[in-house]
Amino acid sequence: MRSVLIFMILFAVTGIGEVNAQDMQHQHDHKQETLKAGNIQSDYSLYHLDSEFITHRGEGVKLSEFSGEPVIVVMFYGNCTQVCPILIQDSWRLYSSLSETAKTTVNVLAVSFDTENDSPEVLAEYAKDEQLDISGWHFVTGKDADIRMLAMMLGVKYQKDSSGNFAHSNLISVLDAEGNVVKRVEGLNQPMDEAASVIETISQRSEQMN
């Protein structure tokens, strides 16, 4: 009985696997996309996410407002005392390794997935405590569904446990001027030189455009 069941389960899984493979092929022959004038140029830009987020300065913001310049995105939560400070520290390490020019063009988005506790006020407090309430740094929250959507686009997984803590991926992403993910740094305490040089290149390009 047991082996029959296992066989059936495997059959079910294999079936899905084939569906996946078919769908994977479809991504290469997608239809010509109709874009509105002045709209997002890239099919795979994060800026297609049209939701409004809110910063620790209490300002409503759409991701597309950051277009034209490089962006560092990191997802975290304020009550996290173990891993997140390292993750924010890593983001700071990346930011502070940049040239002065790149520092002025780059934006850092630290997005909280604790939509219940991390209000703009709490995030403002957090930014102050971390001494990161500085120009170009934005601690961001938003509606649960929108945060989840952004996380999925970045490839960040998170899951709340019953004690209110989150298990989550540790990931820093770099977006180019069009909002495409061009570099991902996974894990804690990773070397940042590659990500930094990617940002420098984007930064130089956007300087030339201006």
Partner 1 sequence: MITGVLLILVSSFINPANSQTPKVFIPAGSFHSVLPEVKGEPIQVNPFFMDETAVTNEQYVKFLRSNPDWRRSEIPPIFTYDGYLRNWDSDLEPNYDSVGKDRPVTRVSWYAASAYCSAQGGRLPTLNEWEYSAQLLGIDDIAEMNRFSSKLISWYSGIDVNNLPEVGSTGIETTAGVKDQFGLIMEWVADFKPIIADEISLDCGTVGRMQTLNSIYSYAASIRYITRMSFNPKITTGMLGFRCAYDEPDHSDENKNEVTL
Give residues in contact with partner 1 (CB under 8 A).
5-6, 8-13, 15-17, 19-20, 23-24, 26-27, 29-31, 33-34, 40, 43-46, 48, 50-51, 143-146, 148-149, 152-153, 157-160, 162, 167-169
**Dihedral sign from CA coordinates of 153, 156, 161, 164:** negative
- What is the separation, in whole angstroms, between the first and last Cα of the chain? 69
Nearer to partner 1, 14 or 210 (CB): 14
Report how many helices (DSSP H) and strands (DSSP E) the chain contains, helices first. Answer: 6, 9
Nearer to partner 1, 146 or 200 (CB): 146
Residue 202's contacts (CB-CB under 8 Å, 6 or more residues apart) are 69, 70, 174, 176, 177, 182
User: Hey, what are 171's tokens?
Assistant: 């990931």
Nearer to partner 1, 10 or 134 (CB): 10
Q: Cβ 34 to partner 1, closest distance in Å?
A: 6
Nearer to partner 1, 127 or 171 (CB): 171
Q: Quick one: which of 70, 153, 69 has its CA closest to 111?
A: 153
Q: Cβ 12 to partner 1, closest distance in Å?
A: 5
Which string of b and e fits 140-155 if b means at least 16 CB within 10 Å?
A: bbbeeebbeebbebbe
Q: Cβ 17 to partner 1, closest distance in Å?
A: 6
One-letter amino acid of 40: I
Q: Cβ 97 to partner 1, closest distance in Å?
A: 28
Nearer to partner 1, 62 or 128 (CB): 62
Nearer to partner 1, 119 or 204 (CB): 119
Q: Cβ 124 to partner 1, closest distance in Å?
A: 23
Residue 120's contacts (CB-CB under 8 Å, 6 or more residues apart) are 54, 55, 56, 57, 58, 141
Q: Cβ 173 to partner 1, closest distance in Å?
A: 14
